[in-house]
Chains A and B, each alone.
Chain A
Amino acid sequence: MRNIHTDVITEAVKKMCIEANLALAPDMEACIRHAAEVEDGALGKKILDSLIENMEIAKEESIPICQDTGMAVFFVEVGQDLHIEGAGLTEAINEGVRQGYRDGYLRKSVVADPLLRTNTGDNTPAIIHYDIVPGDALTITIAPKGFGSENMSKVYMLKPADGEEGIRASVLDAVKNAGPNACPPLFVGVGLGGDFELAAKLAKKALTRDADSRHPDAHIAKLEDEILDLINQTGIGPGGLGGKTTALSVKIETYPTHIAGMPLAVNMCCHVNRHRSVTL
């Protein structure tokens, strides 16, 4: 059995928190640059140009791309043959968040109680989704999530009879409702199937996919393309100021579901779609 110490995990998480917030992954950067090249809305083009300048300044000066450095969301795959030594795994991840948000000069955006609203001061606790998988590796994916876009996310409990048409209409509805609030151009994560809460989790997971990836199932990949096309015909554009780039990407993750239902979740993300992964 393989052993791993939680100190190693904390250190890796700390590093990922900082890196994810200071620079977009190359796939995200590439699709923003491409959008700026093809945008034909006058104000929309201005917005995209400033986003490129923004990425460059963030990198040069080591300051976060966006001031909302997010709530730290993790997808963690734990190999069932792995033995973890030291503190608890959850505490080790939270400690990495604590150190990363402190040493990286990232914003502390978490309140301890949804109603009393006192800031926890260190951006913990993180939101951690665990999966037990075969093997002895530990894979940690971080996706710091800003709430301007998170607030515009939705769950639709569609009926089987709603079909593809219902899916297209619902995602479009969510995007129109989000408009300028979610900092378009958007990255749209869609969870389809499962049940109420799994659909939402799949939608978040969809945001961690590479911008240039395609769903392995042809009918889902086609749906991703069709929905992206529809969204970009709305004219909402960058910043909601008019243009052809309302979304950069639409990603759909699916799971088997019940004979009576077709849950659909739309997790809205902005162009600052941050994610990093490490396998330890």
Chain B
Amino acid sequence: MNKKIQIPFDKEELKDLRAGDYVYLSGTVYSARDAAHKRMYEAVLAADSEEAKRAALPFDIRNQAIYYLGPTPAPEGHVIGSAGPTTASRMDKYTPMLLDMGLTGMIGKGKRSPEVREAVVRNGCVYFAATGGAGALLSKCIVSSEVIAYDDLGTEAIRKMEVRDFPAVVVIDSAGNNLYETAVKDYLASRK
């Protein structure tokens, strides 16, 4: 099924998404990958109150989406360079904490840990995959991009981006179904 989804997310709407749904995302997404995650994680751990923890993050993550992305530099006349997903599992260590603090969507590629899947279910979130290695194509769906934090990290800085009809597939839905497990089984069954 093809669905259009707005970000910031409406968690009620996300409940209807199922692993395997093909979606088009529009709205705000924030880029963050290894180094930015480590920095956010350490900043939250160092804070001593709920309020301070929230303030330690460079943006309000509630109902938002993080895109695991480190783009190539934007050539003249482009909003951004090549901009496809990076492997999500490297962020697994940091992700449950962010989901518990209100982060709602993640866009990446590849498997997630059991801890991430549990945190997705606990908080009614969704993990989406974008096509790995299709950075030129996906860059066309990014209409604006601005570095908002950790500028010194270069490609790993946090960017606030507007996306329009960004194609993605639901891999882990809010009920914990995992497309990487079901899709391969279903495909093999269909060949019998």
Contacts and interface: CB of A to CB of B under 8 A. Distances in A.
A66 B135 contact: yes
A100 interface: no
Interface in B131-172: 131-137, 139-140, 153-156, 167, 169
B82 interface: yes
- Chain B CB within 10 A, most for which of A68, A237, A271: A68
Given A63-B81, A240-B183, A180 B133 contact: no
B133 A107 contact: no
Contacts of B72: 63-64, 67, 69, 105-107
Contacts of B133: 51, 54, 65-66, 183, 270-272
A261 interface: no
Given A57-B136, A234-B184, A240-B184, A63 B109 contact: no
Contact of B136 (A54, A68, A148): A54
Measured as residues with beta carbon below 8 angstroms from the partner, the interface class of chain B is 35 or more
B76 to A, nearest CB: 9
B86 interface: yes
Nearest to B89: A181
Interface in B1-41: 20, 22, 35
A272 B82 CA distance: 13
A67 B130 CA distance: 13
B184 A68 contact: no
Contact of A63 (B110, B129, B136): B136
B155 A183 contact: no
Nearest to A234: B184
Interface string B79-95: 00111101101000000
B175 interface: no
B110 A240 contact: yes
B153 A179 contact: no
Contacts of A107: 70-73, 81-82, 155
Contacts, number: 156
A80 interface: no
B132 A183 contact: yes
A64 B136 contact: yes
- Chain B CB within 10 A, most for which of A44, A182, A235: A235
Given A107-B155, A151-B87, A242-B183, A179 B111 contact: yes
Interface in B94-140: 109-111, 129, 131-137, 139-140
Contact of A47 (B131, B153, B185, B186): B131
A236 interface: yes
B59 interface: no
Contact of B183 (A43, A50, A51, A106): A43
Contact of A50 (B75, B131, B179, B184): B131
A235 B184 contact: yes
Contacts of A180: 109-111, 129, 132, 180
Nearest to B140: A57
- Chain A CB within 10 A, most for which of B20, B71, B109, B153: B109
A237 B87 contact: no
A195 B74 CA distance: 43
Contacts of B155: 107-109, 119
A66 B35 CA distance: 20
A58 B169 CA distance: 22
Contact of B109 (A41, A61, A119, A239): A239
A69 B71 CA distance: 10
The 4 closest A-B pairs by CB, nearest first: A242-B187, A183-B132, A181-B110, A58-B136
Given A58-B136, A107-B71, A181-B110, 15 more contacts: A40-B191, A43-B20, A43-B183, A47-B131, A50-B131, A51-B131, A54-B134, A57-B137, A67-B81, A119-B155, A148-B132, A181-B87, A237-B187, A241-B180, A241-B183
